[in-house]
Amino acid sequence: MENTKQIKSSILKQNLEKFVRNRLAMFGLLMVGLIVLTAVFAPLITKYDPVKIDMTSIGKAPSSAHLFGTDKLGRDVFSRVLYGGRISILVGFIGSIMGSLIGMVLGCIAGYFGGKIDSLLIRISEIFQTFPQMILILIMVSILGQGVGNLIFIFSITGWMTTFRMIRNEFLTLREETFVEVSKAFGISDVSIMFRQILPNTFSPIIVATTINIAGFILAEAGLSYIGLGVPSSVPTWGNILNAAKTIDIIVNNWWLWLLPGLILSFFVLAINFLGDGLRDVLDPKQL
């Protein structure tokens, strides 16, 4: 028992050292952590209300009073970016996690049992993948309407296929291993074998798929809000901030209304991808 603990401790130490040596992964972790913390503690960082209109501060350039300037209604852009990050990140994270959970469960069932169940679930995933994901999202948004809850639900329903296929492929291989046959011989239930013995060996593809979906869903929310189909315009999100700055006049004369929020969005999505790649390199035993 003591030797097992020492081995696990040694593996953990090696993985941490490997992660720390990955500069892009560390950059991603620091950037994601910084942006998430600033969004969570937005009330302590800025004194401005993100939705309060101030007619005396319309269209002001960045300054010490307004770090990111103000928009056409006098609202502080920095506070809108911080508070907007709460919604955008929330939609991306929860939508991706829920989608990964759906894909994980369905992938476990398909890969473990195989046969007709596997064929049925594969056909369902192929039907979903027949449509480009953004087109499918647009169709569901037009049916369900705008709203944070609706977006999370839509992303969950449309974001499970990647995880499903990854987990299914892993299960098709792992179900043939000796430890699975031994577990069956001892009368351990299929549910226990799937979720307690096989599933822990597939965490790497789950993490990869989840991080990819987080970045993708944040961009999808921004894109939908930009065209007026995402979160209602009264709610500050990164997409709505960019939506309010898409006219030619603002693009030419008020660069801070689109450049600074766009940079924050781009850096966060890039950092998520770097972090996901770093975690994959650490957790995937196939990576050298």
Closest CA to 155 of 205, 101, 207: 101
Q: Both tokens of residue 159?
A: 């974001």
Each residue of 232-243: pLDDT tens digit? 888 889 988 988
Task: Give residue 11's pLDDT.
Answer: 59
Residue 190 · residue 112 · CB < 8 Å: yes
Confidence bin at 145 (pLDDT 50/70/90): confident
Q: Both tokens of residue 110?
A: 């398909």
Q: Is the pLDDT of residue 271 over 60?
A: yes
- So where are the chain's domains? 72-283
Task: Give residue 244's pLDDT.
Answer: 83
Q: Is the pLDDT of residue 279 over 90?
A: no
Each residue of 54-85: pLDDT tens digit? 888 888 889 888 999 998 888 999 999 999 99
Cα–Cα distance measured from residue 182 to residue 195, given in angstroms and rounded to the nearest whole number: 16
Cα–Cα distance measured from residue 222 to residue 81, given in angstroms and rounded to the nearest whole number: 12
Can you list the alpha helix ranges (DSSP code H) found in the chain? 2-21, 23-40, 42-45, 77-113, 115-130, 133-144, 148-158, 161-174, 178-185, 190-192, 203-226, 238-243, 248-253, 259-283
Closest CA to 174 of 111, 262, 249: 111
Q: How far is CA 102 from CA 73, 84, 105, 108, in A?
A: 42, 27, 5, 10
Cα–Cα distance measured from residue 173 to residue 198, given in angstroms and rounded to the nearest whole number: 10
72-283: CATH superfamily: MetI-like (1.10.3720.10)
Each residue of 17-54: pLDDT tens digit? 777 788 888 898 999 999 999 999 999 999 999 988 88
Task: Give residue 110's pLDDT.
Answer: 92
Residue 283 · residue 204 · CB < 8 Å: yes
Q: Is the pLDDT of residue 6 over 80?
A: no
Cα–Cα distance measured from residue 216 to residue 92, given in angstroms and rounded to the nearest whole number: 8
- Can you give the pTM of this predicted structure? 0.84
Residue 275 · residue 29 · CB < 8 Å: yes
Angle at 144 between CA 87 and CA 269, to 5 degrees: 30
Q: Is the pLDDT of residue 3 over 70?
A: no
Residue 190 · residue 175 · CB < 8 Å: no
